Structure formats: structure tokens, C-alpha cells
């Protein structure tokens, strides 16, 4: 006998578990199916984000940053340390404990909100009268029927053609978060978000890190003034980033990995490393869903086809997060999950794709929201830009972290903020003010007139707003 639900969510990552909680809050009898297993084979909801993404990467970034500060910054504060060392096994165990806290937290939240959780793989069986039959293959096989189905199956790392991940020498984000000892030489393919974050972790711990990037431009999606500043800082730290390369043969053996490539000048090169992280983007997870059984449309990239409201081609079937178009970010997945649950309830769920912030948790951090100067130039839109360097901010000087700047871009005629771009300390937190400002369609002058606490890094955002009108007070 099939178990009946109003809403069935397939996938328990940030898109799925949040959609399930919101659906349950709205009074729907909701099920959430997730197949991720912890080390003991038990459930580990939270998806890529919790298990091998956002959370564990930030745990390792924090540990490695403390180590880096202890080795390089503490001395300036008069703090002396003898015999500084890193216990990688302990660092990784701490990261695993942080992941488990999050897994347990999600299981608790699902229970608290009366979402029925199923541990196993969910797949479509057939359309039935007023809904869909979904099979769960797990410790216990189940048959469920849902009036509405939300697919939130996420994404997986893309491998280089013909070079599968062995997670020992050739690593995806999964293996990159479980390296047991600092490699002497580490290679990364792709200087995107994972390349920079993971490269930073192991560089800080002492690895000799080389990143090979196909594109000639560094961080093409970011504002190029910010990207240049970040590139300068990373290079100074010792991260070797080669742009405009063409990667050829990759050979993984017992001793290490060799990567043949052509550099930007067209010269043949070889990189020999102990471990290689491949971070060249991610592919949507749709295999195993049995989408063909119900005729769910999937595009040529493997993503489920949805409209702006996350409706698929099938009535009552929705899809959110990494498995659909748009940026592969946890907060984007969450917003879509909430909006879909609200739409199912007949409400007006809303996601503003123009104000989704991006954050890269390196040191300096990089964060932005809205348009870059390059995008505005391409659109032919008249704008004014103002920047304020952290070098001129009292709090940044006290922190001993003065790299970078806040840049604000506003419409030339209306002064409406069109984009805010930050490279520097706590950019991940500072960007929230810019998101709020843009959601409320604030002008640069609005921010310039708001009282910001002193001394704080956020004063740099106010000063960047003043800089739009060429009237900074502290620079």
C-alpha cells in the first residue's frame, strides 16, 4: 500500500529540506527523501552543502586561516609561538564533527516540522490519478504517492574527460575535503570558486599549489577591478595561478599525477603533483530519478527544464536548486525551495535573481551582488562608480587586514545602486547590507546618509557610497 502525501520532496540538500520544512509549515503532509549516507551508512541529510560543500569547506578554511595567522600574523601582535604544527587528522575530524552537527540539526528540524523523512533513493514510477507514485529504494523499500513533487537532487563534480575521480590522486570536492596529510605539491584544474577555496586551504597549510585555468581572464564573473586585486593578493600569498592553459593528458600513478598542458604562450608544459583536485564545474543529478517514466523534460546539460517559477513540463512537478538553471548556490536553492512551497499553497513565492549574493571565502574574501562594471558597459548603461580601500578604514588597520576595497556602482541618472563588489576582510558579512539596499532599491546617497558604527568595516561601504558622489570623508 502506497503512503499518501500532499508534497514529496526528492533530495534533502538546502533546496530540498528547506522546501519540505516550508511545505509542512504551510500545512501540507510532507515527505522528504534523501539518499546521502554517513560513514556508518545512516542518513546524512543536508546534501552537497552540508556533507562535501559549503559547511566542511568553511570548517577547513577556518582551521587553515588560524594556522596561517598563527604563523604569519600573530608576531605583529607581539604573540610568540614556538613549534607551530598542524595535526591534519584532527583538523579533518573537527570538520567531520561540524558536518555531523549539521546533519543532526536537519534531522531534528524535519522532525520538529513533522516532515516524514525517508532514507534512500527516490525515483518516479508513474503518474497516478491526482499525482505521482514515487519509489524509495533504501534500507526499507517504500512506495509513496504525492499530489505534488519537488525535485531537489542537486549536482555532482564534473570530471575531466577520461579521467575519473579516484579520490586518492585525482580528487573531486569530496576527496579534496578528506586529504589526510598536507601534500607537498598540489595541482588544481579550474580557478573557480572551489579551486580558490581549496587551493587556499592547502596552500596555507604548506602545500606548493598550482592552479591551471582555461580562461585567459581571472574570475571572469567578478568585477574585474576586484578580480585583479584578488589575483594580486593570492599571487603574493604564493598561490600559482596559470591562466589561458589547455589541459592535455592527465596520468595518475601510485606516486602522483602528471598533467600535460599548453600555457598561454602556446608552450608545452608538464605539472607533476602529489594530488590533483579537478574543480571545473558541476553537473546536475538526474540519473536514477527515472525521469523518463513520467516524461520529465531534461535539457542537453542534464538540468531539469523549469520556468522562472521552477515549474517543470509536468503539472504538479517542480524542481529547485543545482538541478535547474541558475547559479549553483545553497542560498539560491533555499530561496527557490521556499518559493515553490508557497506557490503550491497558492501564495506568491518570489525569488529575486538580481540580488543573489556571491561569496568566495578566501582571504581576502570576495563578495558581490548585482552588476559588474563590465556588464554595465556591455549593456551601454550610464553609471557612476566609487571605491573605498580598507587601507583607509580604522577597524581594518586594527585587525591588521587592510587588503582590498568596497566598490559601489550606481545609475548615473537615478543614483540607484546597481552593484556592490567587495574584496577584503569579512566581505561575506558586509555584502548583506548591499543586498538589503538593492532589494529596497536604495540609492548610493541612501547608504551615504545612514549612520554606520565606528570603528567598523561597514564604514567602508558608507564611504564607497560617498565615493560614488566623489566626496569620501576618510580617503
Q: Which is nearer to ligand FAD, 146 or 154 (CB)?
A: 154
Q: Which is nearer to ligand NAI, 137 or 435 (CB)?
A: 435
Select which of 72, 77, 421, 454 is catalytic.
454
Residue 187 C-beta: closest distance to ligand NAI, Å: 11
Interaction partner, residue 212 (ligand NAI, ligand FAD, none; CB < 5-8 Å by kind) = ligand NAI
Interaction partner, residue 110 (ligand FAD, ligand NAI, none; CB < 5-8 Å by kind) = none
Count CB atoms within 10 A of the CB of residue 26.
16
Residues of this chain, 292-351, that bind ligand NAI according to CB under 6 A = 327-329
Interaction partner, residue 306 (ligand NAI, ligand FAD, none; CB < 5-8 Å by kind) = none
Peptide bond into 321 cis (omega under 30): no
| Alpha carbons within 13 A on the beta-carbon side of 13 | 31
Peptide bond into 455 cis (omega under 30): yes
Interaction partner, residue 47 (ligand NAI, ligand FAD, none; CB < 5-8 Å by kind) = ligand FAD
Q: Are strands 365-370 and 358-360 parallel, antiparallel or unpaired?
A: antiparallel
* Cα distance between residue 312 and residue 299, in whole Å: 11
**Which residues 6+ apart lie within 8 Å of 268 measured at CB?**
260, 261, 262
Residue 185 C-beta: closest distance to ligand FAD, Å: 21
Specify whether the CB–CB gap between 9 and 152 falls below 8 A. yes
Among 186, 209, 280, 466, binds ligand NAI (CB under 6 A): 280
Residues of this chain, 201-260, that bind ligand NAI according to CB under 6 A = 212-215, 247
Among 46, 56, 195, 364, binds ligand NAI (CB under 6 A): 195
Of the ranges 123-131, 267-275, 303-311, 358-366, which one interacts with ligand NAI (CB under 6 A)? 358-366
Residue 8 makes contact with ligand NAI by CB under 6 A:
no
* Cα distance between residue 395 and residue 390, in whole Å: 9
Residue 183 C-beta: closest distance to ligand FAD, Å: 17
* Cα distance between residue 91 and residue 93, in whole Å: 5
Residue 64 C-beta: closest distance to ligand NAI, Å: 15
* Cα distance between residue 8 and residue 356, in whole Å: 27
The partner residues of 210 in beta bridges, in order of sequence, read 187, 240
Residue ranges in 354-473 assigned as alpha helix (H): 373-379, 394-399, 427-439, 444-448, 459-468
Residue ranges in 151-212 assigned as alpha helix (H): 173-176, 193-204
Of the ranges 128-136, 188-196, 289-297, 369-377, which one interacts with ligand NAI (CB under 6 A)? 188-196
* Cα distance between residue 54 and residue 173, in whole Å: 10
The partner residues of 241 in beta bridges, in order of sequence, read 211
| Active-site annotation holds for 331 | no
Residue 431 C-beta: closest distance to ligand FAD, Å: 12
What 3-state DSSP class applies to 93? helix
Specify whether the CB–CB gap between 19 and 320 falls below 8 A. yes
Interaction partner, residue 103 (ligand NAI, ligand FAD, none; CB < 5-8 Å by kind) = none
Residue 262 C-beta: closest distance to ligand NAI, Å: 11
Residue 49 makes contact with ligand NAI by CB under 6 A:
no
Among 191, 312, 363, 402, binds ligand NAI (CB under 6 A): 191
* Residues forming the active site: 454
Q: Which residues bind ligand NAI (CB under 6 A)?
A: 189-195, 197, 212-215, 247, 279-282, 327-329, 359-361
Amino acid at each position: 500500500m502506497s503512503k499518501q502525501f500532499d508534497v514529496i520532496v526528492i533530495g534533502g540538500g538546502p533546496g530540498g529540506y528547506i522546501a519540505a520544512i516550508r511545505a509542512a509549515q504551510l500545512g501540507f503532509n510532507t515527505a522528504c527523501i534523501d539518499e546521502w549516507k554517513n560513514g556508518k551508512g545512516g542518513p546524512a541529510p543536508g546534501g552537497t552543502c552540508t556533507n562535501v560543500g559549503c559547511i566542511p569547506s568553511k570548517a577547513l578554511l577556518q582551521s587553515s586561516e588560524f594556522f596561517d595567522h598563527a604563523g604569519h600574523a600573530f608576531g605583529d601582535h607581539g604573540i610568540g609561538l614556538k613549534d607551530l604544527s598542524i595535526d591534519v587528522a584532527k583538523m579533518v575530524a573537527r570538520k567531520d564533527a561540524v558536518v555531523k552537527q549539521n546533519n543532526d540539526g536537519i534531522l531534528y528540524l524535519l522532525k520538529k516540522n513533522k516532515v516524514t523523512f525517508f532514507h534512500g533513493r527516490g525515483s518516479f514510477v508513474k503518474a497516478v490519478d491526482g499525482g505521482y507514485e514515487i519509489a524509495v529504494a533504501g534500507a526499507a523499500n517504500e512506495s509513496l504517492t504525492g499530489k505534488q513533487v519537488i525535485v531537489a537532487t542537486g549536482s555532482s563534480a564534473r570530471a575531466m574527460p577520461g579521467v575519473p575521480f579516484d579520490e586518492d590522486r585525482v580528487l573531486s570536492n569530496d576527496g579534496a575535503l578528506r586529504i589526510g596529510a598536507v601534500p607537498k605539491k598540489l595541482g588544481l584544474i579550474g580557478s573557480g570558486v572551489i579551486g580558490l577555496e581549496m587551493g587556499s586551504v592547502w596552500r596555507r597549510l604548506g602545500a606548493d599549489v598550482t592552479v591551471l585555468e582555461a580562461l585567459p581572464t581571472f574570475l571572469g564573473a567578478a568585477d574585474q577591478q576586484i578580480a585583479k586585486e584578488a589575483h594580486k593578493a593570492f599571487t603574493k600569498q604564493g598561490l600559482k595561478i596559470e591562466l589561458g592553459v589547455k589541459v592535455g593528458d592527465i596520468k595518475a600513478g601510485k606516486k602522483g599525477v602528471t598533467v600535460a598542458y599548453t600555457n598561454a604562450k602556446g608552450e608545452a608544459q608538464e605539472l607533476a603533483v602529489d594530488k590533483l583536485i579537478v574543480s571545473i564545474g558541476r553537473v546536475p543529478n538526474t540519473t536514477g530519478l527515472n525521469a523518463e517514466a513520467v516524461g520529465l523534460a531534461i535539457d542537453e546539460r542534464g538540468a531539469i527544464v523549469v520556468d522562472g517559477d521552477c515549474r517543470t513540463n509536468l503539472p504538479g512537478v517542480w524542481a529547485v536548486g543545482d538541478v535547474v538553471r541558475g547559479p549553483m548556490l545553497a542560498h539560491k536553492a533555499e530561496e527557490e525551495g521556499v518559493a515553490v512551497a508557497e506557490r503550491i499553497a497558492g501564495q506568491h513565492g518570489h525569488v529575486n535573481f538580481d540580488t543573489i549574493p556571491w561569496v568566495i571565502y578566501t582571504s581576502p574574501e570576495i563578495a558581490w551582488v548585482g552588476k559588474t562594471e563590465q556588464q554595465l558597459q556591455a549593456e551601454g548603461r550610464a553609471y557612476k562608480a566609487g571605491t573605498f580601500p580598507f587601507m583607509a578604514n580604522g577597524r581594518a588597520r586594527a585587525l591588521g587586514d587592510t587588503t582590498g576595497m568596497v566598490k559601489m556602482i550606481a545609475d548615473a541618472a537615478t543614483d540607484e545602486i546597481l552593484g556592490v563588489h567587495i574584496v577584503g576582510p569579512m566581505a561575506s558579512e558586509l555584502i548583506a547590507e548591499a543586498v538589503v539596499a538593492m532589494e529596497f532599491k536604495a540609492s548610493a546617497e541612501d547608504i551615504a546618509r545612514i549612520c554606520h558604527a565606528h570603528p567598523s568595516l561597514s564604514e567602508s561601504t558608507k564611504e564607497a557610497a560617498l565615493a560614488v558622489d566623489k566626496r569620501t570623508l576618510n580617503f
